Each structure stands twice: as structure tokens, then as C-alpha cells.
Structure 1
Amino acid sequence: MEGENMDQKSEELEIDIIVAQIKDGNKEAFRALVCEYQRKIHVYSYHMLRNKEEAEDAVQEIFLKCYQNIHQYSQGTSFSGWLYTVAYNHCINLLKKRSLRHKLIALYRTQLAQAKQEVDYASLSIQDVLGLLSAEDRNLLVLRVWEDLSFDEISRIMNCKPTTVRKRFERIRKKLKMKMIQLEESPNVPKTAFRR
């Protein structure tokens, strides 16, 4: 445990040095920073936006915002937390601008109606499960499960208290668990669909 803290502090110090170089105009340092975080931000954006092309565009826009606003980052704080906050705000703005939330709901309802006629629950995927959630709940789930962030880090990104984040996460888990139980108990669902 102590070794992990030392590694994390060393990594944060290294990031702070890179950020200081970026603030001094070093473009190579920025390229190094992009290389370090690009994949994580792409995965995060994809889970938020649920569209490969939009996620790829979002990653470029997020790093552009990061570069333009790097002076707002305070050394000594979590850079990844700051970057995820930029990514979160950008993705939420995209969802609002493009009315993606409404399209997702309409798409989900259409898929649900089709599923009642001919169900293939064996093909349930992570994207189907994420489609059951609001953008903010999806964000929390992605940060906690896929990015393995602590509740404290997530609370800073989402600008709320850690206890609020923890309670919301538990509500999301219960909601998804209940949905899976309902699906398992449905007479149209093959019982092997949930044994993977």
C-alpha cells in the first residue's frame, strides 16, 4: 500500500514537471502528456458518447481545451482528475448540444419494442446496459468501474460530495441488478443468456 502511494506521488510529480514545461511553451511536453492520457480519455469519451467517431473528435477537442486552459491546473492536485473534469464537461456539453440524450431514449424505446417481439438476450452488451442509464449515471459508472477512480476523485470531477457519489453508485448498482433480475425472470429469456 505504501509502495503504491510512493509510485502515485512520483507519477504526480512527473506530471507536474511536464505541465510546468507545457506552461513554458514546450510542445514536446504536451505531446508526451497526450500520449500518456489519450487512450484513457478516448475510452472515457466513447463510454459517455457511445459513438466511435464522436469520441475520436471529442478526444481532440478535449486535449485542445486542456492545452488552452493548462494555466488553470494547480500543481499538487490530481492532473488526471482535472483532465477528466475537462472531458466530463465537454462530453456533457456535446450530449446537450446534439440532443443525444433524447435520441438515446428514443432509440432505447424502439429497441425495447422490437425486443418484445423477438428477444435475443444472449447479445446483451455493455452498451445495452449503459443505455439504461442517464449521462451522469453512465459517467459515474465508467469512472468507477472502467477507470477505477476512487469516490473522492469522482466527486472532484463531478463537483459533488464523495458520500453523494457513493450513494448514487449504489443506486445505479441496485437499478442494474433489478433490471437483470427482471430480464432473467422473463419467460421469453433463455436461461443460458446470463451464464457467460
Structure 2
Amino acid sequence: MEDEQRLIQQVLAGDKQAYAHIINKYKNQLYATILRMTKNPQDAQDLVQDAFIKVYRNLGKYDASGSFSSWLYRVAINHCMDEFRKKRYSTIQVEIDEAKVVNREHPEVVFLKKEKSRQLERLIATLPEDERLIILLRYVNEISYEEIGEVMDVPLSTVRNKLHRAKKKMRETVKREGGYFHELSNGG
């Protein structure tokens, strides 16, 4: 946190190399979140680049009262939502190259892991946009409820309610359609 504040001050003083450190720290998490929102790798790359430009231009507006990561996510996600509204964004399903993230184990285990991951992606994709975003921020980016509230500019109670509703919908879908996620269908 202290290191981030130092980097921010350096960027505001004109040090563009310091901004490269901020980008490197957040680019992968932000890309993963936006990719799950858009389901399109090229659009996700473009939106991440645009978001980092927007963050850079608005860095002087960051007041350091909240966490920098929450502020950065809020700027990036608001930018994405604006773009979605402009384009009436239509998402398409893409396959993520899981070969890079799956351990090289027995072929059957690898297959099951891939299938489980695909099924979870499909399950999350069925959620409304706001609930999907909360699930991604909480479980993919491991952001606290408070930070999610800051990012989405909603009260903590709304974050908890939407997260609860999203998990309930996912459980109901698993019960109805079956699949690998027995822990979800049993209330886990």
C-alpha cells in the first residue's frame, strides 16, 4: 500500500516508468475480470488498455481514502459498462486456453478439470451482469465485500444480497441441470 502511494506520487510528478509498475501489478487480474465480462479476448485487451489510459488520466482524482485497487477497478469497470451501453455489447462464448493453466497430470484428470472449468464458466455466464461481476470480483480477484461495494458504488448490504442471490441461482441451475458442482447443489 505504501509502495503504491509512492508510485502514484511518482506518476503524478511525471514519472511514466512508475506507471508501468502499476500496470504490471494489475493487468492480469483486470484482464481476467474483463475477459469474463466480454467473453472476447480482443475486446478484453482493448478495454483493459483503454481502462489503464483512463486511470492514468484520472490518477489525480484518486484521494487515497480508499484502497487504490478498489478505485482502479471502479474506473475500469465503469469504463467497460459505458462501452457496453454504447455498443449494446453482445457477448460470444470463447474457449479459454486452459492448457496453459492446467497441471500436466493424468489425461483423465486433465479432461475433468477442463470440463469442470467450462461448466463453471457457463454457469457464471447465465447470471445477470451485476451478479456475474460480483462473483468474479469476489472469487476470481479475491476482493473483499467492502472493496466490491466501493468498486460498484453500492452499499455493503447490496453486495451481500447480490452475492447470495447469484450463488442461489447457480445452485438452482446445478440442481435442475446436474453437473460437477455437487457442493453448490448441497448449499456449499
Same fold (TM over 0.5): yes
Aligned to 2:180: 194
Which ranges of 4 or more aligned residues in structure 1 deviate by more than 3 Å? none
Aligned to 2:10: 21
Is the Cα contact below 8 Å between 1:16 and 1:76 reproduced in 2? Answer: no
**Aligned-CA RMSD value:** 1.9
Structure with the largest fraction of helix: 1
Work out whether 1:135 is the aligned partner of 2:124. Answer: no
Work out whether 1:84 is the aligned partner of 2:70. Answer: no
Q: Identify the range of structure 1 (71-80 vs 139-148) with the bigger mean alpha-carbon deviation.
A: 71-80
> How big is each residue's C-alpha offset from its partner over 1:28-60, in whole Å with a ceiling of 9 and x where there is no partner?
101111111111111111111111100000111
Is the Cα contact below 8 Å between 2:51 and 2:76 reproduced in 1? Answer: yes
CA distance 1:126–1:95, change in 2 (3 Å): farther
Aligned to 1:165: 159
Work out whether 1:144 is the aligned partner of 2:138. Answer: yes
Q: TM-score, length-normalised on structure 2?
A: 0.79
Unaligned runs of 5+ in 1: 1-11, 109-121, 185-192
Where do residues 1-196 of structure 1 align in structure 2 (5 Å cutoff)?
Answer: 12-100=1-89, 103-104=90-91, 124-184=118-178, 193-194=179-180
Is the Cα contact below 8 Å between 2:23 and 2:52 reproduced in 1? Answer: yes
Q: Distance in 2 between matches of 1:45 and 1:161?
A: 22
Partner amino acid, structure 2, of 1:24 = A
Bigger radius of gyration, 1 or 2?
1
Q: Distance in 2 between matches of 1:90 and 1:125?
A: 28
Q: How many residues align?
A: 160
Partner amino acid, structure 2, of 1:135 = E
SS of equivalent residue, structure 1 residue 77: coil
Unaligned runs of 5+ in 2: 94-114, 183-188
- Shift of the alpha carbon at 1:130? 2.3
